[in-house]
Protein backbone atom coordinates (compact mmCIF):
# COMPACT_ATOMS: atom_id res chain seq x y z
CA UNK A 1 0.00 0.00 0.00
CA UNK A 2 1.40 3.41 -1.01
CA UNK A 3 1.77 6.32 1.43
CA UNK A 4 -1.16 8.12 -0.21
CA UNK A 5 -3.36 5.03 0.08
CA UNK A 6 -2.45 4.66 3.76
CA UNK A 7 -3.33 8.30 4.43
CA UNK A 8 -6.70 7.87 2.70
CA UNK A 9 -7.43 4.63 4.55
CA UNK A 10 -6.29 5.60 8.05
CA UNK A 11 -6.67 9.38 7.98
CA UNK A 12 -3.84 11.90 8.35
CA UNK A 13 -4.02 12.19 12.16
CA UNK A 14 -4.18 8.43 12.68
CA UNK A 15 -1.18 7.97 10.38
CA UNK A 16 0.73 10.64 12.32
CA UNK A 17 -0.16 8.90 15.59
CA UNK A 18 1.16 5.57 14.28
CA UNK A 19 4.40 7.22 13.19
CA UNK A 20 4.76 9.11 16.48
CA UNK A 21 4.28 5.97 18.56
CA UNK A 22 6.92 4.17 16.51
CA UNK A 23 9.48 6.91 17.18
CA UNK A 24 8.77 7.86 20.80
CA UNK A 25 9.38 5.04 23.33
CA UNK A 26 6.20 3.83 25.04
CA UNK A 27 7.77 4.15 28.50
CA UNK A 28 8.48 7.83 27.89
CA UNK A 29 5.27 9.42 26.64
CA UNK A 30 1.80 8.49 25.44
CA UNK A 31 -1.23 10.52 24.40
CA UNK A 32 -4.55 8.94 23.51
CA UNK A 33 -8.13 10.08 22.91
CA UNK A 34 -11.12 7.77 22.64
CA UNK A 35 -14.70 8.56 21.68
CA UNK A 36 -17.15 6.20 23.39
CA UNK A 37 -20.23 5.00 21.49
CA UNK A 38 -23.25 2.99 22.63
CA UNK A 39 -23.84 0.31 20.02
CA UNK A 40 -27.25 -0.59 18.63
CA UNK A 41 -27.51 -4.22 19.70
CA UNK A 42 -30.87 -4.84 17.99
CA UNK A 43 -29.52 -3.52 14.70
CA UNK A 44 -26.39 -5.66 14.98
CA UNK A 45 -28.51 -8.72 15.82
CA UNK A 46 -30.59 -8.16 12.69
CA UNK A 47 -27.42 -7.68 10.70
CA UNK A 48 -26.12 -11.03 11.90
CA UNK A 49 -29.43 -12.79 11.18
CA UNK A 50 -29.37 -11.44 7.61
CA UNK A 51 -25.68 -11.99 6.93
CA UNK A 52 -24.26 -14.68 4.68
CA UNK A 53 -20.98 -16.19 5.81
CA UNK A 54 -20.57 -19.13 3.46
CA UNK A 55 -17.06 -17.98 2.56
CA UNK A 56 -16.06 -17.43 6.19
CA UNK A 57 -16.19 -19.17 9.56
CA UNK A 58 -16.62 -17.15 12.76
CA UNK A 59 -16.40 -18.52 16.28
CA UNK A 60 -16.01 -17.64 19.91
CA UNK A 61 -12.49 -18.66 20.95
CA UNK A 62 -12.63 -20.63 24.20
CA UNK A 63 -9.49 -22.80 24.18
CA UNK A 64 -6.77 -21.09 26.27
CA UNK A 65 -4.03 -21.73 23.70
CA UNK A 66 -6.21 -20.30 20.92
CA UNK A 67 -7.02 -17.31 23.11
CA UNK A 68 -3.30 -16.66 23.60
CA UNK A 69 -2.80 -16.79 19.84
CA UNK A 70 -5.73 -14.44 19.28
CA UNK A 71 -4.25 -12.00 21.79
CA UNK A 72 -1.05 -11.87 19.72
CA UNK A 73 -2.89 -11.42 16.43
CA UNK A 74 -5.14 -8.63 17.74
CA UNK A 75 -2.37 -6.83 19.66
CA UNK A 76 -4.33 -7.35 22.87
CA UNK A 77 -1.95 -6.09 25.56
CA UNK A 78 -4.51 -5.98 28.38
CA UNK A 79 -3.02 -7.73 31.45
CA UNK A 80 -4.18 -11.35 31.24
CA UNK A 81 -5.20 -11.55 34.90
CA UNK A 82 -7.70 -8.70 34.36
CA UNK A 83 -9.38 -10.37 31.36
CA UNK A 84 -10.89 -13.40 33.10
CA UNK A 85 -14.28 -14.00 31.50
CA UNK A 86 -13.61 -11.81 28.47
CA UNK A 87 -14.87 -13.12 25.13
CA UNK A 88 -12.61 -13.49 22.11
CA UNK A 89 -13.86 -13.89 18.53
CA UNK A 90 -12.00 -15.00 15.42
CA UNK A 91 -12.85 -15.20 11.73
CA UNK A 92 -11.19 -17.37 9.09
CA UNK A 93 -11.86 -18.15 5.46
CA UNK A 94 -13.88 -21.34 5.14
CA UNK A 95 -11.20 -22.93 2.98
CA UNK A 96 -8.37 -21.85 5.35
CA UNK A 97 -9.68 -22.71 8.84
CA UNK A 98 -6.24 -22.53 10.44
CA UNK A 99 -5.51 -18.95 9.40
CA UNK A 100 -7.20 -16.21 11.43
CA UNK A 101 -7.81 -13.09 9.33
CA UNK A 102 -9.67 -11.04 11.91
CA UNK A 103 -10.54 -10.87 15.57
CA UNK A 104 -12.19 -8.79 18.26
CA UNK A 105 -12.74 -8.96 22.02
CA UNK A 106 -15.70 -8.37 24.31
CA UNK A 107 -14.64 -7.20 27.76
CA UNK A 108 -16.89 -7.78 30.78
CA UNK A 109 -16.66 -6.69 34.41
CA UNK A 110 -13.51 -4.63 33.85
CA UNK A 111 -11.10 -3.46 31.18
CA UNK A 112 -7.60 -2.39 32.21
CA UNK A 113 -5.64 -0.07 29.93
CA UNK A 114 -2.41 -0.60 31.83
CA UNK A 115 -0.20 1.46 29.51
CA UNK A 116 -2.40 4.52 30.06
CA UNK A 117 -3.22 4.09 33.75
CA UNK A 118 -7.00 3.70 33.70
CA UNK A 119 -9.49 0.89 34.25
CA UNK A 120 -13.07 0.79 33.00
CA UNK A 121 -15.50 -0.70 35.50
CA UNK A 122 -18.28 -2.30 33.47
CA UNK A 123 -21.83 -2.76 34.74
CA UNK A 124 -23.59 -6.13 35.00
CA UNK A 125 -25.14 -6.13 31.50
CA UNK A 126 -22.41 -4.00 29.92
CA UNK A 127 -19.62 -5.20 27.63
CA UNK A 128 -16.82 -3.30 25.90
CA UNK A 129 -15.82 -4.10 22.32
CA UNK A 130 -12.04 -3.75 22.00
CA UNK A 131 -8.92 -4.78 20.07
CA UNK A 132 -10.63 -5.20 16.69
CA UNK A 133 -8.23 -6.41 14.02
CA UNK A 134 -8.36 -7.37 10.34
CA UNK A 135 -5.31 -8.80 8.55
CA UNK A 136 -3.89 -6.59 5.80
CA UNK A 137 -4.52 -9.15 3.08
CA UNK A 138 -8.19 -9.39 4.07
CA UNK A 139 -9.02 -5.69 4.27
CA UNK A 140 -11.72 -4.58 1.89
CA UNK A 141 -13.58 -7.91 2.12
CA UNK A 142 -16.08 -6.77 4.73
CA UNK A 143 -14.48 -8.91 7.45
CA UNK A 144 -15.35 -6.67 10.39
CA UNK A 145 -18.87 -6.10 9.03
CA UNK A 146 -19.38 -9.82 9.62
CA UNK A 147 -17.35 -10.13 12.82
CA UNK A 148 -18.93 -7.28 14.82
CA UNK A 149 -22.55 -8.49 14.41
CA UNK A 150 -21.50 -12.02 15.39
CA UNK A 151 -19.75 -10.76 18.54
CA UNK A 152 -22.69 -8.52 19.44
CA UNK A 153 -25.18 -11.37 18.91
CA UNK A 154 -23.12 -13.75 21.05
CA UNK A 155 -22.59 -11.23 23.86
CA UNK A 156 -26.29 -10.41 23.83
CA UNK A 157 -27.11 -14.12 24.16
CA UNK A 158 -24.94 -14.17 27.29
CA UNK A 159 -26.94 -11.32 28.85
CA UNK A 160 -24.82 -8.34 27.79
CA UNK A 161 -27.41 -5.98 26.35
CA UNK A 162 -25.43 -2.77 26.73
CA UNK A 163 -22.48 -2.78 24.32
CA UNK A 164 -20.03 0.11 24.18
CA UNK A 165 -16.88 0.77 22.18
CA UNK A 166 -14.06 3.29 22.49
CA UNK A 167 -12.65 4.54 19.19
CA UNK A 168 -9.81 6.93 18.45
CA UNK A 169 -11.54 9.75 16.52
CA UNK A 170 -8.78 10.01 13.93
CA UNK A 171 -9.09 6.34 13.00
CA UNK A 172 -11.41 6.91 10.04
CA UNK A 173 -12.28 3.29 9.28
CA UNK A 174 -13.09 2.35 12.88
CA UNK A 175 -15.05 5.55 13.47
CA UNK A 176 -17.13 5.01 10.33
CA UNK A 177 -18.26 1.46 11.06
CA UNK A 178 -18.91 1.98 14.78
CA UNK A 179 -20.83 5.23 14.28
CA UNK A 180 -22.91 3.41 11.67
CA UNK A 181 -24.02 0.92 14.35
CA UNK A 182 -24.24 3.37 17.28
CA UNK A 183 -27.33 4.73 19.00
CA UNK A 184 -25.46 7.66 20.54
CA UNK A 185 -22.11 9.17 21.46
CA UNK A 186 -21.64 8.78 25.21
CA UNK A 187 -18.53 10.93 25.69
CA UNK A 188 -14.77 10.79 25.42
CA UNK A 189 -11.67 9.82 27.38
CA UNK A 190 -8.32 11.58 26.91
CA UNK A 191 -5.09 10.45 28.54
CA UNK A 192 -1.66 12.01 28.75
CA UNK A 193 1.10 9.88 30.24
CA UNK A 194 4.59 11.24 30.90
CA UNK A 195 6.89 8.51 32.19
CA UNK A 196 4.96 7.03 35.15
CA UNK A 197 2.41 9.82 35.61
CA UNK A 198 -0.94 9.46 33.84
CA UNK A 199 -3.59 12.20 33.65
CA UNK A 200 -7.10 11.17 32.61
CA UNK A 201 -9.85 13.51 31.40
CA UNK A 202 -13.46 12.52 30.66
CA UNK A 203 -16.48 14.19 29.03
CA UNK A 204 -20.17 13.41 28.61
CA UNK A 205 -21.63 10.41 30.40
CA UNK A 206 -18.26 9.13 31.58
CA UNK A 207 -17.13 9.53 35.18
CA UNK A 208 -13.75 8.94 36.84
CA UNK A 209 -12.50 8.36 40.37
CA UNK A 210 -9.64 10.89 40.07
CA UNK A 211 -7.51 12.66 37.48
CA UNK A 212 -3.91 11.61 38.12
CA UNK A 213 -2.11 8.42 39.07
CA UNK A 214 1.44 7.15 39.27
CA UNK A 215 0.26 3.59 39.91
CA UNK A 216 -0.54 2.60 36.34
CA UNK A 217 -1.26 -1.00 37.33
CA UNK A 218 -1.60 -0.89 41.10
CA UNK A 219 -3.78 2.23 41.42
CA UNK A 220 -5.42 3.07 38.07
CA UNK A 221 -7.99 5.79 37.50
CA UNK A 222 -11.39 4.07 37.66
CA UNK A 223 -13.80 4.96 34.86
CA UNK A 224 -17.52 4.27 34.55
CA UNK A 225 -19.56 4.60 31.35
CA UNK A 226 -23.24 5.51 31.78
Q: Give kind and range of the element (H or E) at residue 21.
A: helix 12-23
Find, among 197, 144, 194, the residue nearest to 171 by Cα: 144
Tell me the DSSP string of 53-110.
Answer: -TTEEEEEE-SHHHHHHHHHHTT--S-GGG-TT-EEEEEEETTEEEEEEEEEEEEESE
pLDDT greater than 70 at residue 212 = yes
Find, among 59, 32, 22, the residue nearest to 151 by Cα: 59
Q: Using CA atoms, how far apart are residues 60 and 89, in angstroms rounded to an integer? A: 5
Q: Using CA atoms, how far apart are residues 61 and 131, in angstroms rounded to an integer? A: 14
> Is-contact 119 166, C-beta < 8 A?
no
Number of domains forming the structure of the chain: 1
Q: Using CA atoms, how far apart are residues 7 and 117, in angstroms rounded to an integer? A: 30
Question: Is position 3 within any domain?
Answer: no
Question: Is position 202 within any domain?
Answer: yes
Q: Using CA atoms, how far apart are residues 156 and 74, in angstroms rounded to an integer? A: 22
Q: Using CA atoms, how far apart are residues 126 and 222, in angstroms rounded to an integer? A: 16
Beta strands 56-61; 162-167: pairing state? unpaired
Q: What is the pLDDT of residues 85-140, one digit of tens each?
A: 999 999 999 999 999 999 999 999 999 999 999 999 999 999 999 999 999 999 99
Question: Is position 2 within any domain?
Answer: no
Question: Is position 152 within any domain?
Answer: yes
For residues 118, 37, 106 and 84, what is the CA-based torsion angle, rounded to 10 degrees?
30
CATH number of the domain enclosing 164: 3.40.630.30
Residue 186 belongs to what domain range?
Answer: 9-225
Instruction: Please state the rounded mean pLDDT for residues 171-198.
Output: 96
Q: Using CA atoms, how far apart are residues 105 and 88, in angstroms rounded to an integer? A: 5
pLDDT of 7 reads: 40
pTM for the model stands at: 0.89
Question: Is position 60 within any domain?
Answer: yes
Q: What is the pLDDT of residues 38-83, one digit of tens each?
A: 999 999 999 887 776 678 999 999 999 999 999 999 998 899 999 9
**99 Cβ contact list (under 8 Å, min separation 6):** 92, 93
pLDDT greater than 60 at residue 4 = no
Amino acid sequence: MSLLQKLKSHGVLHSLEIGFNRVVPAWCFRFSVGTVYALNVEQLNRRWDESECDRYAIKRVEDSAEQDELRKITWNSVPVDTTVGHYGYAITRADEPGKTIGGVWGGVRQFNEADLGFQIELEKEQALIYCAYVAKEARGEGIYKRLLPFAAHDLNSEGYRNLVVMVQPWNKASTYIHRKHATRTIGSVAVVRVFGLAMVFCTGGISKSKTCTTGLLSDPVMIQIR
